[in-house]
Structure 1
Amino acid sequence: MGKKQLVLVGNGMAGVRCIEEILRIDRESFEITIFGSEPHPNYNRILLSKVLQGDTSIEDITINDWDWYKENHIQLFTGEKVIRIDTEQQMVYSDLGREVPYDELIIATGSIPFMPPVPGADQKGVTAFRDIHDCEMMLEAAKTYKKAAVIGGGLLGLEAARGLLNLGMSVDVVHIHPYLMERQLDQTASKLLQKALEEQGMNFLLAKETERIFGGERVKGLRFKDGTRTEADLVVMAVGVRPNVSLAKSSSIEVNRAIVVNDYLQTNIPHVYAVGECAEHRGAVYGLVAPLYEQAKVLARKICNMDGDSYEGSIVSTQLKVSGVDVFSAGEIVEQDGMRSLKVYDEINGIYKKILVKEDTIVGAVLFGDSSEGTELLGMIHQQANISRLRKVSVLQSWESAESSGESRAASMPHHQIVCTCNGVSKGAIVEAIEKNGLSTVEQVKSCTKASSSCGGCKPLVNAILDHTLRCESAEEKETICGCTSLSRDEVMQEIKEKQLTHVREVMNVLGWKSEEGCSVCRPALNYYLGVIYPVEYTDEEECKPLNERMYANLQVDGTYSVVPRMYGGITNAQELRRIADVVEKYQVPMVKLTGGQRMDLLGVKKEDLPRVWEDLDMPSGNSYAKAVRTVKTCVGALYCRFGTQDSIRLGIALEKKFERLQTPHKVKMAVSACPRNCAESGIKDFGVVGVDGGWELYIGGNGGTHLQAGQLLCTVTTEEEVLEMAGAFLQYYRETANYLERTSKWTKRLGLEHIREVLFDQENREELVDRMKLAVSRVNDPWKEVLTNKDRKQKFIEISQ
C-alpha cells in the first residue's frame, strides 16, 4: 500500500507544527506537500516585533529552514497560493497552475490584517504589520522618514511602535479606546503601561477615531473625527486581524467567523481539516500561539489514526515585553458579579498584581512590572486551583530577591505543571530531557523540548529549572558560542591556549564542532579569539570575517554599499571634501549623509565600484562595518565654545588615532565632550569623556542604540595622558574578557563596575593591560591601504566585487 498524500495549505506556525507532530508520530505513512504564499520557510511570526526592534534578525526567527523540508522529504512550494479545492475529486489548484491530489488536506491559511475602510488608506506609506514584507517595508521607510503613526493600541501596535522608536522615528500611537490593551489589561495596569511607554518616548492619542488619512502620492498624516489631526509619513495599521477564509468559502466548506471545526479539527467535508487562526472551534477563534499548538497536537493524532484527547478549547494568556516592561494577563481581567480580587500594588518598584477569584478558584490574573509568576498562575487557572488559604498578603513578600524566588518556584513546582504554555511543555518533561540527554544550557533545553522557543517568556523559569536540576551554584546559564558547539567562550579560549591551536578550521576539528564548516556566528568569533590570544603571530582569515568586513563597506537593503571615509574627530578639509565630491559625481552616488558620528556616509555605491571608490578617495576607512573601535565624536571644545573647559577635539583625535581599527568583541563608540553639557553625547558611549574643571570624567558601558543605557562613571583623571592610559587598559580588558558580539553595556553589567574598577585601578594590572594593548595596536594596519598596495590582494578583491 502506497503512502497517503497529505497536503497542507499554509506554511505558518500552526500548520507546520501539525506536520512536525505527524512526523514525530509516523514518518512513513505520508507524502507531504506544503503550499506557502510567502517566499520564506516557516518562521516565528510573533517575533517579527523583535526584528523590527533590532533585537534579532529574520534568520534568527526561522523555525524550520530550507534544509528541514529536504531532510523530511517535504515538497514545499513557496510564493504560491492555493486558489481552489475540489473536495469531490480531492484536488488542490494553485495560482501557478499546479494541480496536487490529496488524501488528507489541512487548511492553515491563518489570518489577514484588518485594514479599516479609512479614506486614503491606499496611499504609499500605509502598511499593516503582519509578515516579513511589512517588516522590511517599515525598516526601509525609517531610513528616510522620521514621523510615524501606529493605529491600534493593542499588543501588536505597541510592539510595532517600540520598533519604530528604535529605528529613530517619533511615534504617535492612535487608539479608539480610552486606555491601552483593553482586552488584556484592566485600567490600572493599562495606565501603568502607558506611563512606562511614554517615558520611553511614545506619544499616545487615546479615544481617537481616524476619519481620513491625508496626503498625496504618499501619506502625510491623520485627521480624526473630533477635528484634530497629526502628521505622519508612515502609518502602520495594527487594529486586528480577520481569519483568512476565502479559499474555504469558495470550496463549500462551512464558514462562520472562521472555518467551523469539531473537537478533532475536522470540517464538514470529509478528509478536510482546519487549524490555527483560520479555524473556529465552539464559536471561538484563537490568535495566540499556545492554543494553535494545542490544536496541532490533536489534529496530528487524528490524521495518524491515534486515539487521544479531543480539543476542548483554551484559556488564553498574553505576555508583552517592550523594552523592559513586563505585562501578563490570563483569563478574566475585570471584576464581574460573583468575583473577588486579590491585589498588590508596589508603587516603589512599579509592580501591580491582581488575581481574580470566583468561589475560591482563580479565574484570571493581571501582572505588571513582574510577570515571573505568570506561567504558574496560568497553570492554576487551568487546574481551577483553590486558593482559599492564600488570601493573606504580606508586605514583606516584595522584598524577596528575584533569584531566590525563581529558584524557589523551580524547586517547588510539581512535575506535571506546564512551564512553556506556548508549546505545552511541563516541568517534568524539561527535567527528564536534562537528565536523559545531559543538557547543560537553555539553548539545548529549547532544542530538545521546544520550551521557550516561541515567545520566550518562560526562559527565566526554564533556566531556574535547569540550574535546580543540575544543582548549580550559579543561577546564570552557560552561554555557548553558538549551536555548533557545547563549549563556552572561556572553555574555547582555554582549549586554544592549552592545545596551541592556530587556525579557525583547526579549532573546529580538534574541539569537535558539530558542523564541519561552522556558522556565521562562530567563524568570526573564533577568528577574533585567535587574534586576541596570538596578537603578533595570527593573521585574520578573510573567509571567516563577516561580509561587510570583507567588502570594507556596509551592505544596504537594495544590494548597494555604504562607504564611510574616516575623519578624525569629525574634522575635514577642502582637499578631502573635493575628493569626496569628485567620487560622488564620478560614481553617481545617490546620497551623501552626515552620520551621527560626525562622518560623511556615501550611500548607494555599486559593489563593482568599491575598489575604485576607495582608491579615488585616498582616505582611511571609518570602519563603520567592523567590530572595532569606530569614531570618536567630539564637540568644538574650548577652542571655540565659550562653555568649553577642555580641548575636546585634540583629545578626541588622539584617542581615535591611537585605537583606530583595533578589533574588539563588538563595535566600540567613543566621544569627548569639553564640558558637562555633553554635546558629543559622551554619556551614552562605550567609552565617554567629559571635561570638567581641572580634568576629565571617564564613563564606560553606555549604549545609545536599541537598549538605551547611560554610561557609568569609572573615574576622574587630570591629564590627557591618563585618559589615553585608562582607555587603553579598559579596551584591552574588554577585548580579553567579553564574549564575541557582547557590547560593553552588557559586559559592564555582567562583570560589575566595582570589579572593573578593581582591575583597572590596580597599577600593576593596568600597566600589563596597557602593554598588551600596545602590542595589539602595533599589529593594526589599514586593511584597505593593504589592498591598494598589494597587487594580488587588490585583484582578489576586484574579483570578489564582480
Structure 2
Amino acid sequence: MTQKLIIIGAGMATGRALELLLEQDAAAYDVTLFNAEPRGNYNRIMLSPVLAGDKTYAEIVTHDDAWYADNGVTCRFGERIASIDAEAKTVTAENGDVLPYDKLLFGTGSNPFIIPMSGHDLDGVIAYRDLEDTELMMSMGPDNKVVVIGGGLLGLEAAAGMAARGVDVTVVHIMGHLMERQLDEAAGYLLRKALVEKGITVRCQANSKEILGENGKVRALLLADGTELPCDLLVMAVGIRPNVALAKETGLAVGKGIHVDDQMVTSNADILAIGECVEHNGAIFGLVAPLYDQAKVAALTLLGQPATFVSKEISTKLKVTGCDLFSAGDFADGEGREDIVFRDPGRGVYRRLVIQADRVIGAVMYGDTADSNWFFGLIRDKTDISDMRDTLIFGPAYQGGTPLDPLAAVAALPRDAEICGCNGICKGTIVDAINAGATDLGAVRAVTKASGSCGTCTGLVEQVLAVTLGDAFVLPTSQPMCKCTDMTHEDVRRMIKSQELKSMPAVWQACNWNTPDGCPSCRPALNFYLLADWPLEYADDPQSRFINERKHANIQKDGTFSVVPRMWGGITTPNELRAIADAADKYMVPTVKVTGGQRIDLLGVKGEDLPAIWADLNAAGMVSGHAYSKGLRTVKTCVGTDHCRFGTQDSTGLGIKLEKTLWGSWTPHKLKLGVSGCPRNCAEATCKDIGIVCVDSGYQISIGGAAGMDVRETELMIQVSTEEEAIAAIKAVTQLYRENAKYLDRIYKWMAKVGLDWITEQVSNLETRAALVDRFELSQSIYRKDPWADHIAKKAESYQPLADLTLEAAE
C-alpha cells in the first residue's frame, strides 16, 4: 500500500530529495508538497544572476508545474502548515484542512536575521531571501539609492546585482574587511577595491545605529558616527537563522536547528528534516553541497535503505560581482602554521595557502581561481605536500617539474577529484557519463547535475569533456537562445532573414521549437527581431513584451508606477512644468524626481490612475518618455552655443532634433545619447551608447559607451562636417544596431562582436548609409507613436501580463 508523505517547504534541499525519491521508487509515496511561497522549487542561489539581469526567473525554475503533474505530486503552494499533531500523525493547513501522513519531511529553511534596531519595520526595509525580495531590488533604477547592511556573501551579491542595473549602492559592514569569515585581510582588500571600481561604495568598520523614516517609509540609515546614508531601499543581509518555530510547536528536539541524526531523522521516528532548518552534530548548514547530501540520505531513509550523512569540508565561491574569489578550510593565524603567498598586483591575482605539518589546511584565492578545485582536494584529502612544496602555489599545472597546459592538468586529475562541489560530482562520474553518450555540457548536466547549481564549475566540466572526447569536442561559442531551442540568437535571426520568416509560429515551425508557443525568454526577443526585420509585414505582439513596456510605465517595488514625460533634449517650458506639477498634485504623486537624463520622473502613480495622468500630460503637449523601453531613452545635451562661451555648435538644437527623430524606435536594448557642445563634454557624451562631441570643424560621433556596472568610454566611429550628416549617420548606426545585434545586447556588446571597423565601414559608405536611413525611416513611419495616447484612444486596459515576464527591471 502506498504511504503518504507530506513535505513542508519547496526549497532546494526538499526538491532534490523529492527528485531522488521518485527516481528510486515513484510508487512508494503519495506526496503532498506545501510551500509558503506561491511557487515550487527554484534554484535560490541563482537569484543573484536574476537580480543582475543575467538570467530570468523562468531559467532558474528546477521543477515546473508540468513536472509536479507528471510525477503525481499534490502541490499546495502559497499555503502554510498551521499545526502538526505528531501523535495522530496529521497536519492542519491554514485553511483548516487536516491531512494524515505516514512520513513527514521538514524543509522549512531559514529566516533572515533582521537587526532589531529602531526603524527596522519601516516600508522599504527588506532582507534578501526570496523572489519577492529580488523583484523589489530589481525595481530600483539609476535614480535610486540603496543601502545594503552586511559585507558577507549574500550582501555583496545583492549590492553587485543592483549596481549592475545602475543603482547607487552603498555596502555597510561592521567588520574591518569584507567577507571576514571566508577571506583574509589582503583578499578582503582586493575585493573591496574591485567593488569600488565597479561603482559600489563600501564602508567597513561602520556601525549601524538607526533606520530613519518619513511617512512610514525608509529614508536613510544613521551610523553610530552620525553619518546619514540616504536610501530608497535598505537591504539587510546579516545572516540567517534556522526556521524552527513549527518544529518547536510540534514538540521536536530543537537547538540552533531541528536536531537530526545521521539518517536525517528527528526526535520523532516518522519525521525527517533537511536543509537550513536542521542541526547535525552541533552544526547548521547554509551552502548547497551539504544540503544535497542531506537530501540523498533522506530519500534513501524514506525508502528504508541504509544511508549516513557525513559533514564534509566546504568551500566558498563568490558569484555575480565579476570578482573571481575562492576560500576553503582554516586560514586563521595559529601556532605551527605558515603561509605561502603569491601576489601579482598588475593582474590583480592573490593566492594564500596555509600549511601545517606538510598539509594544506586553508586556501584563499582572488583574481584567478582556476585551480581552486585542486587546492580544495588537497585540503579535503589531507594530502602530504612535502614533495611539491616549491611549486605548490602555482597549482597542478606545475607539479612534476614541467608546466602543463590546463587540459593536461585536468587529464592528470584522479577519477575521485571533485569537479562539482555543489552536487558532489567527481571527475570519474563525469567521464563515465561522457563515455555513455553525454557528449556536450547540457547532456552531462542532465545526467550528472554537474554545473547545474551555482555554475562556477562549468569551465572545468567543459575541460573534462575536452580531455575525454579529444578532437570530437568543440567548445560552444555561445549559448542557445533559450530552453525551447538549441539555436543561438544569431542562428535564429539568420533563419528569420534567410527564410523570410514573418511570424512567431513560422519561426517555431522552421526552427523545430521544443515548445509550441515559446517561453518568456524567447518571445520578447522574437518579437523584436520580427518587428525590426519585417516592419511592413509583422504586427507587434504586446503580450511578448515585458511588463514595463506593456504598462508604458516602470513598475515600482510597492506596485505603483513611475511616469516620465519626454523633454526634448532636456528642454522644457513653464507650461510643461505647470502640467507636471498639476498632475503631481491631482494624482497625489509622492515623489517628483529630476533624473540623470534631464527629465522629471513622477514616482508612485497608482496603476488605475495611469490613463488619466497620461491624458492630462498629453493635453499639455507631452508624450511618453519611454523610460521603460528597449528603445530611445534620452538625448542629454549641454547649452551649446546659445549660452556657453565655449560652445562650438548648437548642441541643444541637435539634441532636440535627434530625440524627435529617434523617439519611439525599438532597439535591442535601451539607447541613450549625449550631445556636448565642445570637448569639455558637459553632457557626458563619451559614456553614452551614442555620443556626439561638437568641435569647430563639425561633429565627432562615437559609440559603445556605458556608465553602469561596466564603465566604458565611447570609441570614435566617424567625424562629419554638417548637422545633416550627423543625423543621417546616427540614424544609420541605429538601424544597423537594430538589424544585427542580439536582443538585450547594448551597443558596446554588439560592437565587441562585429568590430568597430565594420560598423564604421557601413556608416561611412554613402550608399549603404542612405539605405540604412531609408529602412529606419520606414520603420519609424509604421511604429512610432505615443503609447500613452494610443492606449487612451483604444480605451482599453493594458494587455494581460505573462507571469514570467514580470521580472523586467525598471531601468
Equivalent residue for 2:677?
Answer: 674
User: Residue 631 of structure 1: which of 625, 634, 645 is its match?
Assistant: 634
Give the direction of change, closer, same or farther, for the CA distance of 1:389–1:655 in structure 2 (3 Å limit): farther
Alignment of 1:262-277 (within 5 A): 262-277=261-276
After superposition, the C-alpha distances for 1:633-676 in whole angstroms (9 at most, x for unaligned) are: 21111221223233212222333344333332222221111223
For the pair 1:156 / 2:154, whether they are aligned, the reply is: yes
Task: Give the SS at the match of 1:517.
Answer: coil
User: Residue 343 of structure 1: which of 341, 363, 370 is its match?
Assistant: 341
CA distance in 1, matches of 2:285, 2:346: 36
Task: Give the SS at the match of 1:779.
Answer: helix
For the pair 1:100 / 2:99, whether they are aligned, the reply is: yes
CA distance in 2, matches of 1:306, 1:521: 41
User: Residue 354 of structure 2: which of 353, 356, 375 is its match?
Assistant: 356
Task: Give the SS at the match of 2:99.
Answer: strand
The question of whether the paired residues in 2 share the 8 Å contact of 1:10 and 1:36 is answered with yes
Amino acid at match of 1:644: G
Q: CA RMSD in A?
A: 3.8
Please state how far the C-alpha of 1:91 moved relative to its aligned partner: 1.9
Amino acid at match of 2:748: S
Equivalent residue for 1:724?
Answer: 727
Alignment of 1:243-392 (within 5 A): 243-308=242-307, 310-392=308-390
Equivalent residue for 1:750?
Answer: 753
CA distance in 1, matches of 2:798, 2:53: 33
Q: Which runs of 5+ in 2 are unaligned?
A: 399-403, 802-811
CA distance in 2, matches of 1:176, 1:673: 43
After superposition, the C-alpha distances for 1:381-401 in whole angstroms (9 at most, x for unaligned) are: 33334433433349999999x
Q: Which runs of 5+ in 1 are unaligned?
A: none
The question of whether the paired residues in 2 share the 8 Å contact of 1:36 and 1:80 is answered with yes
The question of whether the paired residues in 2 share the 8 Å contact of 1:560 and 1:607 is answered with no
Alignment of 1:143-542 (within 5 A): 146=145, 148=147, 150-163=148-161, 165=163, 170-210=168-208, 213=211, 228-233=226-231, 234-308=233-307, 310-393=308-391, 407=407, 409-430=409-430, 440=440, 442=441, 446-447=445-446, 449-466=448-465, 469=469, 471=471, 475-542=475-542
The question of whether the paired residues in 2 share the 8 Å contact of 1:787 and 1:797 is answered with no
Give the direction of change, closer, same or farther, for the CA distance of 1:144–1:719 in structure 2 (3 Å limit): closer
CA distance in 2, matches of 1:799, 1:395: 60
After superposition, the C-alpha distances for 1:224-249 in whole angstroms (9 at most, x for unaligned) are: 66x65544455433222222222223
CA distance in 1, matches of 2:797, 2:24: 53
Equivalent residue for 1:654?
Answer: 657
Give the direction of change, closer, same or farther, for the CA distance of 1:778–1:222 in structure 2 (3 Å limit): closer
CA distance in 1, matches of 2:359, 2:162: 41
Task: Give the SS at the match of 1:273.
Answer: strand
Equivalent residue for 1:688?
Answer: 691
Equivalent residue for 1:733?
Answer: 736
Equivalent residue for 1:17?
Answer: 16
TM-score by length of 1: 0.87
For the pair 1:64 / 2:63, whether they are aligned, the reply is: yes
Deviates more, 1:512-521 or 1:381-390: 381-390
CA distance in 2, matches of 1:275, 1:666: 43
CA distance in 2, matches of 1:117, 1:607: 36
The question of whether the paired residues in 2 share the 8 Å contact of 1:608 and 1:801 is answered with no
CA distance in 2, matches of 1:145, 1:533: 36
Amino acid at match of 2:727: L
The question of whether the paired residues in 1 share the 8 Å contact of 2:664 and 2:786 is answered with no
The question of whether the paired residues in 2 share the 8 Å contact of 1:418 and 1:427 is answered with yes
CA distance in 1, matches of 2:591, 2:77: 35
Please state how far the C-alpha of 1:762 moved relative to its aligned partner: 6.4
Deviates more, 1:101-110 or 1:406-415: 406-415
Give the direction of change, closer, same or farther, for the CA distance of 1:117–1:733 in structure 2 (3 Å limit): closer
CA distance in 2, matches of 1:303, 1:478: 42
CA distance in 2, matches of 1:602, 1:245: 43
After superposition, the C-alpha distances for 1:262-302 in whole angstroms (9 at most, x for unaligned) are: 22212232122111112222222111111111111122122
Deviates more, 1:320-329 or 1:169-178: 169-178
The question of whether the paired residues in 2 share the 8 Å contact of 1:536 and 1:775 is answered with no
Amino acid at match of 1:781: S
Equivalences, count: 790
Please state how far the C-alpha of 1:329 moved relative to its aligned partner: 0.4
The question of whether the paired residues in 2 share the 8 Å contact of 1:587 and 1:609 is answered with no
CA distance in 1, matches of 2:447, 2:700: 49
CA distance in 2, matches of 1:381, 1:114: 31
The question of whether the paired residues in 1 share the 8 Å contact of 2:253 and 2:266 is answered with yes
Please state how far the C-alpha of 1:189 moved relative to its aligned partner: 0.9
Equivalent residue for 1:778?
Answer: 778
CA distance in 2, matches of 1:462, 1:88: 48
CA distance in 2, matches of 1:250, 1:165: 42
CA distance in 2, matches of 1:322, 1:455: 10
Please state how far the C-alpha of 1:624 moved relative to its aligned partner: 3.1
Give the direction of change, closer, same or farther, for the CA distance of 1:405–1:284 in structure 2 (3 Å limit): farther
User: Residue 712 of structure 1: which of 693, 702, 715 is its match?
Assistant: 715
Higher relative contact order (CA 8 A, sep 6+): 2
Please state how far the C-alpha of 1:770 moved relative to its aligned partner: 4.3
Task: Give the SS at the match of 2:598.
Answer: coil
Deviates more, 1:233-242 or 1:425-434: 425-434
Amino acid at match of 1:610: P
CA distance in 2, matches of 1:728, 1:519: 32
Please state how far the C-alpha of 1:574 moved relative to its aligned partner: 5.0
Give the direction of change, closer, same or farther, for the CA distance of 1:535–1:390 in structure 2 (3 Å limit): farther
Please state how far the C-alpha of 1:498 moved relative to its aligned partner: 4.3
Give the direction of change, closer, same or farther, for the CA distance of 1:558–1:548 in structure 2 (3 Å limit): same
Equivalent residue for 2:401?
Answer: none
CA distance in 2, matches of 1:539, 1:136: 30
Deviates more, 1:683-692 or 1:126-135: 126-135
Please state how far the C-alpha of 1:6 moved relative to its aligned partner: 1.0
Please state how far the C-alpha of 1:708 moved relative to its aligned partner: 3.5
Alignment of 1:692-703 (within 5 A): 692-703=695-706
CA distance in 2, matches of 1:97, 1:733: 61
Give the direction of change, closer, same or farther, for the CA distance of 1:558–1:248 in structure 2 (3 Å limit): closer
CA distance in 2, matches of 1:224, 1:543: 46
CA distance in 2, matches of 1:215, 1:500: 57
Task: Give the SS at the match of 1:690.
Answer: strand
Deviates more, 1:680-689 or 1:66-75: 66-75
Please state how far the C-alpha of 1:491 moved relative to its aligned partner: 2.5
Task: Give the SS at the match of 1:302.
Answer: helix
Give aligned-pair identity as a percent.
40
Deviates more, 1:771-780 or 1:162-171: 162-171
CA distance in 2, matches of 1:137, 1:228: 28
CA distance in 2, matches of 1:608, 1:198: 40
Task: Give the SS at the match of 2:250.
Answer: coil
Amino acid at match of 1:421: G
Give the direction of change, closer, same or farther, for the CA distance of 1:531–1:257 in structure 2 (3 Å limit): closer
Please state how far the C-alpha of 1:350 moved relative to its aligned partner: 1.0
TM-score by length of 2: 0.86
Alignment of 1:538-549 (within 5 A): 538-549=538-549
The question of whether the paired residues in 2 share the 8 Å contact of 1:53 and 1:706 is answered with no
Amino acid at match of 1:684: C
Equivalent residue for 1:110?
Answer: 109
